[in-house]
């Protein structure tokens, strides 16, 4: 019988069936007994708790009846459970322990540091259905406080911490966690605002100041001393035994050298030692410690170099969207970081080349590699991982127990067989076993799993036989490798035939698989029971509870077994077929409410998809390759893996489906031949293909062509009743309306789009539409609403892990801050957006961030900085064959910089070009800005007044807002034109008021 109080008070049988307890007083009695956690409660105390002042006529008898009812309910549910309710001289009690009561289990897990598991026990507020009763008040307060303490230490997202801070506004631990999470999300100003809120609350309500620790945290945020660290090291599942000296040596090597390579044979423990060393030194690296697992990359990949950069970018959570080379971008974002490259030996030359380039251009980077051979680079410290220390013959129990090999074996054997211990009877056999296995950790752990079945003496006897059998095999291998192979071979022959079949077929997977994938590749209906048995034998490793993978040495062994029985090709083919079908099954889930779950599932199998595609292309199965890339193309976009998508799509050059995707990706990557590729496939493209190309091409500036493609796509989506497609076209229309400053069209398109996307549950789509709502709010001057919507976008994108979208929303927040004259906030948002956009390779968002920083610099008087940033944007835009969307506004701002620098001729040329670009985009708003800029620096002041009149009239007719931050530029232009005298100025201004911007500009051209 089990009891729960972390939520409504509940009881379950050991089989998980709920126990029905009739009667409010009987359930209250159970709650009261549970609140005392096994301690006896006097009868008069229970009577007072249950009835208060409304005591029944025979209180003792009534209480006894309620106790009997509780016992009967427990007994009916699970025979024998009535004895859990006990009575004695001190009162009544309920027999509970951490094994059958969630509150006690919670406290035990917290003490052990298992925070996530502890939090997983909660189903709602403690004693939820009796929380108002005084008899549980103390227990509720204690459990709630302990839960909050755990939440302060847990790694929670910003949105969850914000809710907790709102519920507990004076709790400093939660406030500190909230501030750190905001800061690490790039929201420094919000972190400081959170501190200020607490400081004011403490002063107003308690007359206190924040604690010194919280003050110190605020100072760290102000000075940006907290690192934006990323750490993906897995938690250690067991203690690292016998490696204290090795850890100290590796630590010292990392302190003095930038490249340390741990070498040694398979199974010696290179990976375990590297992970432990990385965890121990993590505090040294402000940007974190990142593990990159390379075991899934094989020499027969389509491009080993590209696969390596893909693996590093994936580990860093970067998006490979082009621009500079992938290696250069990796180097640019390394900062102060430790990169752990695990299992380099399969592709050692390519790993060495990548490592050499990264170390050369990223001075804050250090690399810790594991390999069976050195990388062979200058400055490399090669640290050979030794086997564990083995005991000499005839050592005492105490002396043998000092040897690390014995310590490891004894610990693992005791875990496998509870009766095992290192004693006078077992020490000699353990010593022989450790020496015969040469102290190889993997071999010792494999052997330890068999102690329960065979005993140590049986292990030694069988090991002797196996060694004699394999004495002449693998002549070219080192002795320790022979020993390990013998150990795996011996373990193999202990398996049943069905276990051998499943184990060898698992070897074709890259970086693990699910039980469903294992069944498909093994050609079985269900292999979960077999997988569990293989996990028990330490031949298969469980990963996060739902996935399984082979140890490296075991996988290599099993590939040989597959080849020997002639199953390698058929296993590879089943692997290919399964992952094609998985990708196709996943694709619909990426367009609705299950988007986040499917993204995670596809993330987990990225290596398997790459392996499957390599297989399809290498064997000429282009139909399967085409299906695979078509199914994954949208996933690659959502995850920002543009270069991976391009390489994969280019593997099927004759496919129309792949061609449409490829054209869009070429636009995203800024490829000059994108229009050619578009024209090649546009006639054959379906509705999705048309929308995809048009949406991707919109930033390139050819809006009329894109709009025509969107209209074709919309008709097909409507005919097919494809609501997602309709919403996607509407979001793209909103973008085009924003370029033209068509406020009604922008609002209507965004409104319709978000309504449909919300109904579908597509969070990516909601994010797009929300961004355009924010853009509309900014254009009409509702800056508070614009800020709220863009912050909502940041949070939604963070939850989905869509970092390019986070960068974009941050950039829009920066622009909104510019319009509000909040230039420090604009800088903060712009710098965060630029850093993320650079990491993700998002050129359009990089431009937005640079634009924000350039505007902030000009408005705060930093003209040189503004000139440098804005001129770089102009130079980059002019390299494109077509005008980019941001060019007009950047030219205008740079024109104002030149005007303030006293260079009116250059300013006039820039504003004139800005007007012409605005005409190309049909942007009346841009034309108004350009006319006002021209007026500020044109030598003919009468003409300047005409231009100002035309701009003002158009602004009024189109309801174009002029923010307070823009009036300074206009005031200078008016003052410059007013030198002609009041009457002449008014007359010229009135002449301009009846002209369109194009007509007014024509006057300038005719001069």
User: pLDDT tens across 404-443, in order?
Assistant: 999 999 998 988 888 899 999 999 999 988 888 878 888 8
Among 465-479, 628-642, 862-876, name the one with the lowest average pLDDT.
Answer: 465-479
Instruction: State yes or no: pLDDT of 858 exceeds 90.
Output: yes
Tell me the C-alpha distance between 936 and 971, whole Å: 9
Residue closest to 766 by CA, chosen among 802, 805, 793? 793
**Quick one: average pLDDT of 303-323?**
78
Q: Please state the rounded mean pLDDT for residues 57-82.
A: 90
DSSP-derived letter for residue 136 is G
Q: What is the mean pLDDT of residues 507-513?
A: 91
What mean pLDDT value characterizes the chain?
Answer: 87
- Longest CA span, the chain: 115
**Three-state SS at 217:** helix
pLDDT of residue 228: 52
What mean pLDDT comes out for the span 985-999? 93
| pLDDT surpassing 70 at residue 474 | no
How much is the pLDDT for 739?
A: 84
Going from the C-alpha of 25 to that of each of 61, 103, 113, 447, the distances in angstroms are 14, 22, 37, 57
pLDDT at 322 over 80: no
In this predicted structure, the answer to whether residue 570 has a pLDDT above a threshold of 60 is yes
- The predicted pLDDT at position 673 comes to 87
Closest CA to 8 of 117, 166, 136: 136
Q: What is the reported pLDDT for 323?
A: 47
The tokens of 233 are what? Answer: 């090291």
> Residue 792's closest CA among 759, 770, 819, 814?
770
* pLDDT attached to residue 881: 67
Instruction: Say if residue 229's pLDDT is above 60.
Output: no
**pTM for the whole structure:** 0.68
pLDDT in tens, 909-945: 999 999 999 998 888 888 999 999 999 999 999 999 9
Residue 59, pLDDT above cutoff 50:
yes
Tokens describing residue 224:
């940006």
- Tokens standing for residue 758: 């919300």
**pLDDT value at position 703?**
83
Exposure letters 616-654 (e unless 16+ CB within 10 A, then b): bbeeebbebbbbbbbbbbbbbbbbbbbbbbbbbbebbee
The C-alpha atoms of residue 350 and residue 371 are separated, in whole angstroms, by 13
Of 769, 775, 736, 776, nearest to 754 (Cα)?
769
Reported confidence tier of residue 34, pLDDT bands at 50, 70, 90: very high
Token digits of residue 705:
């062509």
Task: Collapse the DSSP code of 632 into the 3-class scheme (helix H, G, I; strand E, B; otherwise coil) and give the result.
Answer: helix
Supply 901's token pair: 């620098």
pLDDT at position 952 is 92
Distance (Å, rounded) from C-alpha 251 to C-alpha 507?
34
Mapping DSSP to helix (H, G, I), strand (E, B) and coil, where does residue 300 land? coil
Average pLDDT over residues 943-951: 94
Q: What is the CA radius of gyration of the chain?
A: 35
> How confident is the model over 875-898, as pLDDT tens digits?
888 877 666 778 889 999 999 999
pLDDT of residue 479: 45
Q: Which of 210, 213, 188 is nearest to 197 (CA)?
A: 210
Q: Is the pLDDT of residue 868 over 60?
A: yes
**Edge-to-edge strand list for the sheet holding 547-550:** 513-514, 547-550, 540-543
More confident residue, 436 or 994: 994
Residue 470 has pLDDT above 60, yes or no: no
Q: Where are the alpha helices (DSSP H) in 155-211?
A: 158-167, 172-184, 188-201
Order of strands, sheet of 289-293, starting from the edge strand that comes earlier in the sequence: 289-293, 337-342, 365-371, 259-263, 381-384
pLDDT tens digit string along 515-547?
999 999 999 888 999 998 888 777 888 887 689
Q: What is the pLDDT of residue 541?
A: 82
Asked whether residue 467 carries a pLDDT value surpassing 60, the answer given is no
What pLDDT is stored for residue 482 in this prediction?
46
Count of CB atoms situated within 10 Å of the CB of 801: 16
Phi and psi, residue 12, nearest 5°: -135, 155
Q: What is the mean pLDDT of residues 685-708?
A: 89
C-alpha to C-alpha distance for 536 and 542, rounded to whole angstroms: 10
> Of 33, 218, 63, whose CA–CA distance to 130 is shortest?
33
Report which secondary-structure segment, H or E, holds 88.
strand 85-88
Between 537 and 302, the more confident residue is 302
Of residues 75 and 284, the one with the higher pLDDT is 75
* Confidence label for 857 from pLDDT (cuts 50, 70 and 90): very high
């Amino acid at each position: 019988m089990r009891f729960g109080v972390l939520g409504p008070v509940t009881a379950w049988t050991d089989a998980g069936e709920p126990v029905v307890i009739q009667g409010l007083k009987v359930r209250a009695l159970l709650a009261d007994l549970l609140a005392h956690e096994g301690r006896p409660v006097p009868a008069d105390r229970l009577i007072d708790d249950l009835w208060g002042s409304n005591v029944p006529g025979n209180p003792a008898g009534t209480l006894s009846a309620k106790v009997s009812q509780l016992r009967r309910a427990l007994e009916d549910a699970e025979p024998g459970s009535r004895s859990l309710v006990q009575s004695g001289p001190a009162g009544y009690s309920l027999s509970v322990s951490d094994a059958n009561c969630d509150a006690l289990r919670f406290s035990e897990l917290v003490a052990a540091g298992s925070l996530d598991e502890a939090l997983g026990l909660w189903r709602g507020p403690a004693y939820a259905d009796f929380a108002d009763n005084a008899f549980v008040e103390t227990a509720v307060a204690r459990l709630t406080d302990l839960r909050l303490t755990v939440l302060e230490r847990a790694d929670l997202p910003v949105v969850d911490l914000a809710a907790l801070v709102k519920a507990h506004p004076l709790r400093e631990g939660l406030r500190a966690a909230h501030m750190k999470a905001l800061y690490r999300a790039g929201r420094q100003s919000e972190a400081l605002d959170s501190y200020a809120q607490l400081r004011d609350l403490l002063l107003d309500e308690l007359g206190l100041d924040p604690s010194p620790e919280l003050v110190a945290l605020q100072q760290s945020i102000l000075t940006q001393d907290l690192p934006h660290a990323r750490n993906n090291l897995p938690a250690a599942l067991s203690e690292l035994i016998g490696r204290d000296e090795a850890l100290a040596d590796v630590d010292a090597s990392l302190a003095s050298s930038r490249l340390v390579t741990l070498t040694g044979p398979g199974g010696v423990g290179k990976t375990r030692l590297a992970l432990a060393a990385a965890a121990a030194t993590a505090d040294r690296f402000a940007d974190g410690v990142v593990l990159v697992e390379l075991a899934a990359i094989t020499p027969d990949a389509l491009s080993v170099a590209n696969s390596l950069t893909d693996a590093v970018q994936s580990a860093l959570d970067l998006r490979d969207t082009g621009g500079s080379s992938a290696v250069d971008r990796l180097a640019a974002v390394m900062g102060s970081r430790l990169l752990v490259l695990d299992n380099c030996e399969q592709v050692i030359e390519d790993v060495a080349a990548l490592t050499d380039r990264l170390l050369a251009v990223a001075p804050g980077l250090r690399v810790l590699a594991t390999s069976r051979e050195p990388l062979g680079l200058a400055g490399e410290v090669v640290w050979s991982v030794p086997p564990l220390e083995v005991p000499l013959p005839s050592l005492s129990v105490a002396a043998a127990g000092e040897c690390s090999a014995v310590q490891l074996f004894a610990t693992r054997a005791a875990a496998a067989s509870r009766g095992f211990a290192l004693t006078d009877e077992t020490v000699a056999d353990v010593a022989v076993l450790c020496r015969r296995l040469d102290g190889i950790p993997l071999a010792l752990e494999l052997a330890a799993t068999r102690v329960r079945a065979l005993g140590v003496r049986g292990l030694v006897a069988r090991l002797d036989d196996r060694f004699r059998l394999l004495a002449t095999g693998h002549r070219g291998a080192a002795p320790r490798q022979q020993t390990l192979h013998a150990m795996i071979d011996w373990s193999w022959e202990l398996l049943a035939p069905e276990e051998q079949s499943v184990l060898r077929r698992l070897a074709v997977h890259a970086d693990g698989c699910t039980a469903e994938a294992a069944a498909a590749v093994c050609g079985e209906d269900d292999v979960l029971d077999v997988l569990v048995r293989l996990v028990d034998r330490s031949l298969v490793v469980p990963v996060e509870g739902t996935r399984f993978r082979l140890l490296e040495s075991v996988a290599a062994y099993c590939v040989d077994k597959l080849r020997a029985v002639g199953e390698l090709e058929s296993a590879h083919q089943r692997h290919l077929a399964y992952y094609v079908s998985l990708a196709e099954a996943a694709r619909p889930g990426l367009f609705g409410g299950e988007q986040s779950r499917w993204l995670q599932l596809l993330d987990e199998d990225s290596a398997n998809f790459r392996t499957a595609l390599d297989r399809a292309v290498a064997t000429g199965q282009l139909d399967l390759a085409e299906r695979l890339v078509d199914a994954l193309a949208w996933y690659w976009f959502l995850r920002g893996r543009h270069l991976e998508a391009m390489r994969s799509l280019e593997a099927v050059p004759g496919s129309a489906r792949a061609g449409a995707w490829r054209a869009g990706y070429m636009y995203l990557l800024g490829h000059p031949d994108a229009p050619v590729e578009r024209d090649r496939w546009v006639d054959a493209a379906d509705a999705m293909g048309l929308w995809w190309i048009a949406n991707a091409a919109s930033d390139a500036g050819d809006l009329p062509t894109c709009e025509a493609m969107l209209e074709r796509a919309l008709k097909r989506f409507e005919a097919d009743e494809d609501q997602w497609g309709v919403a996607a076209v509407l979001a793209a229309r909103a973008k085009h309306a924003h370029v033209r400053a068509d406020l009604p069209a922008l609002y209507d398109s965004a409104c319709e789009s978000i309504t449909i996307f919300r109904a579908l549950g597509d969070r990516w789509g909601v994010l797009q539409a929300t961004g355009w709502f924010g853009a509309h709010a900014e254009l009409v001057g509702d800056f508070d609403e614009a800020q709220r919507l863009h912050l909502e976008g940041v949070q939604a994108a963070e939850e989905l892990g869509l970092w390019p979208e986070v960068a974009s929303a941050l950039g829009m927040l920066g622009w909104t801050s510019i319009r509000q004259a909040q230039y420090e906030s604009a800088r903060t948002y712009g710098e965060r957006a630029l850093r993320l956009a650079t990491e993700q390779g998002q050129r359009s968002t990089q431009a937005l961030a640079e634009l924000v920083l350039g505007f902030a610099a000009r408005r705060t008087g930093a003209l040189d900085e503004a000139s440098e940033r804005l001129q770089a944007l102009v130079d980059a835009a002019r390299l494109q064959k077509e005008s980019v969307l941001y060019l007009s506004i950047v030219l205008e701002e740079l024109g104002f910089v030149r005007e303030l620098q006293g260079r009116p001729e250059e300013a006039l040329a820039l504003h004139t070009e800005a007007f012409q670009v605005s005409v190309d985009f049909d942007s009346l708003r841009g034309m108004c800005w350009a006319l006002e800029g021209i007026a500020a620096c044109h030598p003919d002041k009468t003409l300047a007044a005409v231009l100002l009149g035309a701009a003002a009239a158009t602004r009024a007719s189109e309801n174009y807002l002029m923010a307070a931050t823009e009036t300074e530029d206009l005031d200078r232009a008016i003052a410059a034109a007013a030198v002609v005298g009041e009457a002449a100025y008014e007359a010229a201004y009135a002449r301009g008021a009846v002209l369109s911007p194009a007509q007014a500009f024509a006057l300038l051209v005719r001069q």
